[in-house]
Structure 1
Amino acid sequence: MSAATAPHAAQAQILATLAAHFGDGVFSISRFRGNLRLFVPKSRLVELLTALKQQCGCTYLAELGAADYLGYPGRTRNRFEVHYVLRNFDTGGSVIVKAGVDDPDPSLPSAYPLWPGADWMEREVFDMYGIRFEGHPDLRRILMPDEFTAFPLRKDYPLRGRGERHNFPKLTRAES
């Protein structure tokens, strides 16, 4: 098997394992630039992530992020999508899992119990988008000051902010 076909074979194995476990209708599939993407409702997210880790060998959470699709042309799904990039180091396989959430209170179950490394990634998504992760052990701001009340990566947040920068504490370097 060539290096180019190995990831496709690994993806096919992941799909076969998931189909045997879940059957039809739990998630939808798409491919983009060689990446396998699974779209799952938030009610089945933890179940799918658990199967990918325990049955498909996707033991590494490489990335967890989000996107705001407010005003995106032709968009009919949820406003926000949270994506999980999982890798299987034994087979070279990878899969992207996406789950959508909407306003007014976007929330998903936390992936922290499966991957403790999700801790800071979920905190960053919370801090920038306001998406809450239920069951997270310490969900609080990580990049913005605690008193900051907005979510700067949301599409409805003004590019120049709302005048709150003058309230931020000044950080200076100590003279050596």
Structure 2
Amino acid sequence: MTNEFVLEAITREFPDSVISSSDPYGMLTVEVRKEDIKKIIHYLRDSSLEFNFLTDICGIHYPEFPDKEIGVVYHLHNMMANFRLRLKIFMSRENIEVDSLVELFAGANWMERETFDFYGIKFKGHPDLRAILNMEDLGYHPMLKEYRLEDGTRTDKNDSMFGR
């Protein structure tokens, strides 16, 4: 199994869904339309590609790109071929909702809850979408890059020291 083979299979099955692809550090990374993510992952799991393990779901926040401000990253693994795949979807802050994968992978339950807790991304169809690590009355999503990392009164540190 190669990056080219998997990308060609996804593109052939979902020609209008693939937005871009790359292979940083040798791992195939495919950006797809968020409306198609569940269909694509279902296909990857049940086809001969056999991506039968969902390694991770996590959120990302790029405030400098309003149309693609919030993203969800899915890592899938074909255990038999030892092949890993990264899928990405992006959305604006006005439409921060995506289909849940819990009915495809039971392990997605806690991963989606964590992503909701830290980024505020809602997963449609999730059986119990609520805070998992933060207090329920926290009132904000701490991983969004909306808050200063340091006390504004300090002069010895600023956000640029933390990659912002």
Q: What TM-score does the superposition give when structure 1 sets the normalisation length?
A: 0.78
SS, match of residue 104 in structure 1? helix
Specify the alignment match of 2:155 in structure 1. none
TM alignment of 1:3-152, pairs within 5 A: 9-22=1-14, 24-27=15-18, 28-55=20-47, 56-71=49-64, 75=65, 77-152=67-142
SS, match of residue 151 in structure 1? coil
1:95 deviation in Å? 0.7
Paired residues in the alignment total: 149
SS, match of residue 80 in structure 2? coil
Range moving further from structure 2, 13-22 or 60-69? 13-22
Highest Rg: 1 or 2?
1
Rounded Cα–Cα distance in structure 1 between residues aligned with 2:9 and 2:23: 18
Moved over 4 A (4+): none
1:146 deviation in Å? 1.2
Rounded Cα–Cα distance in structure 2 between residues aligned with 1:12 and 1:54: 19
Gap regions ≥5 residues in structure 2 = 152-164
The answer (yes or no) to whether the contact 1:36–1:94 under 8 Å persists in 2 is yes
Superposed CA offset, 1:86-144 (max 9, x none) = 00011111110101121134111011111110111100110001010000000000011
Amino acid aligned to 1:118: A
Rounded Cα–Cα distance in structure 2 between residues aligned with 1:143 and 1:46: 25
Gap regions ≥5 residues in structure 1 = 1-8, 162-176
Change in Cα spacing, 1:18 to 1:133, as seen in structure 2 (3 Å) is: same
Amino acid aligned to 2:62: Y
The answer (yes or no) to whether the contact 1:70–1:79 under 8 Å persists in 2 is yes
The answer (yes or no) to whether the contact 1:11–1:94 under 8 Å persists in 2 is no
The root-mean-square deviation of aligned C-alpha atoms, in Å, is 1.8
Amino acid aligned to 1:57: E
Structure with the largest fraction of helix: 2
